């Protein structure tokens, strides 16, 4: 399939230039996750270059005769910050309660200065976290799995602070419960500046505008039907011959 993509792009003059691939390669190498993969040798620069070449080829096929303005690229960047770095993350500990009398008891323990981990271990109904003092680990501040009421309350906390009682539904069944949440740690968002990732944002905005790579895939599928494809691997020769015979 990759060979067909590249042959079709060459035939239609839609292959990216070496300069375009080199420029995007340098941009990609500056992304933290890619830089780490290159450093650990789980990714090679040559394989990264080939991936970029193929991606840009597919982009050219999908977006021929299409363009986006600087304003559209900037808007895409602003709407998709997770694609250009890491979002704000919180490490949270929770106490989940279902009975009103438990809420008053926990409030009294918090006021008395009882360690939150002890309160969670002795009172929380969240079996997955109570053994760890209520700690549910790191979670993205925008994670939709965290009830909106909790996200709003935690956003106002400083590290170490505990929310007031929060009544919220949770789980697939939407059961109501009361939560106390403590912010254990916070990692600020680290988003690459727009100018640094502008080529990546432009590609994303273009793909969004044309509805993804479906158009390119249709073109390659049509090209496949009109192409002569020969399987030269000996192990597949018999299967290929049978398939050809069945078509005849």
CA distances from 25 to 22, 30, 202 (A): 5, 9, 15
Tokens of 166: 């929060």
Contact 209, 68 (CB under 8 A): yes
Reported confidence tier of residue 248, pLDDT bands at 50, 70, 90: low
Reported confidence tier of residue 200, pLDDT bands at 50, 70, 90: confident
Q: What is the DSSP letter of 168?
A: E
* pLDDT over 90, % of the chain: 61
The full DSSP string for 57-118 is HHHHHHSTT----HHHHHHHHHH-GGGGEE--EEEEEEEEE-SHHHHHHHHHHHHHT--HHH
Q: 178-196 pLDDT, tens per residue? A: 999 999 999 999 898 999 8
Q: Is the pLDDT of residue 244 over 80?
A: no
Q: Tell me, what's the pLDDT at 238?
A: 82
The full DSSP string for 112-166 is HT--HHHHHHHH---HHHHTTTTEEEEEETT-TTS-HHHHHHHTTPPTT-BPPPE
3 state SS of 177: strand
Q: 131-160 pLDDT, tens per residue? A: 999 999 999 998 888 999 999 999 999 999
Which residues have CB under 8 Å from 57's CB, separation 6+? 5, 6, 9, 14, 15, 16
- Helical pair 2-11 and 214-225, crossing angle rounded to 10 deg: 90
Contact 57, 6 (CB under 8 A): yes
The full DSSP string for 187-217 is E--EE--HHHHHHHHHHHHHHHHHTTTHHHH
Whether the model clears a pTM of 0.75, i.e. scores above it, the answer is no
Say how far apart CA 234 and CA 240 lie, in whole Å.
10
Q: 203-222 pLDDT, tens per residue? A: 899 999 988 888 888 888 88
Say how far apart CA 212 and CA 201 lie, in whole Å.
14
Contact 176, 168 (CB under 8 A): yes
Tokens of 198: 């502008």
- Helical pair 45-62 and 18-29, crossing angle rounded to 10 deg: 120
Q: Tell me, what's the pLDDT at 48?
A: 95
Q: Tell me, what's the pLDDT at 246?
A: 79
Q: What is the DSSP letter of 40?
A: T
Q: 67-121 pLDDT, tens per residue? A: 999 999 999 999 999 888 888 999 999 999 999 889 999 999 999 999 999 999 9
């Amino acid at each position: 399939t990759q060979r067909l993509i590249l042959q079709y792009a060459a035939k239609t003059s839609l292959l990216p230039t070496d300069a375009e691939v080199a420029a995007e390669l340098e941009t990609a190498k500056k992304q933290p996750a890619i830089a780490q993969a290159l450093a650990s040798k789980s990714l090679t620069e040559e394989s990264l270059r080939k991936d970029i070449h193929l991606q840009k080829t597919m982009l050219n096929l999908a977006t021929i005769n299409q363009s986006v303005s600087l304003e559209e690229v900037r808007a895409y960047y602003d709407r998709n910050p997770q694609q250009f770095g890491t979002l704000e993350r919180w490490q949270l500990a929770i106490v989940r309660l279902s009975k009103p009398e438990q809420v008053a008891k926990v409030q009294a323990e918090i006021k008395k200065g009882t360690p939150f981990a002890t309160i969670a271990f002795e009172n929380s109904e969240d079996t997955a976290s109570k053994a760890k003092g209520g700690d549910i680990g790191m979670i993205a501040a925008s994670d939709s799995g965290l009830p909106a009421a909790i996200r709003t309350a935690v956003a106002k906390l400083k590290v170490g602070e505990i929310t007031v009682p929060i009544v919220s539904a949770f789980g697939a069944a939407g059961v109501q419960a009361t939560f106390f949440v403590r912010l254990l740690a916070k990692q600020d968002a680290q988003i690459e500046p727009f100018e640094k990732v502008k080529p990546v944002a432009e590609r994303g905005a273009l793909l969004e505008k044309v509805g993804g790579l479906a158009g390119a895939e249709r073109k390659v599928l049509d090209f496949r039907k009109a192409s002569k494809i020969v399987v030269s691997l000996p192990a597949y020769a018999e299967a290929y011959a049978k398939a050809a015979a069945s078509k005849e």
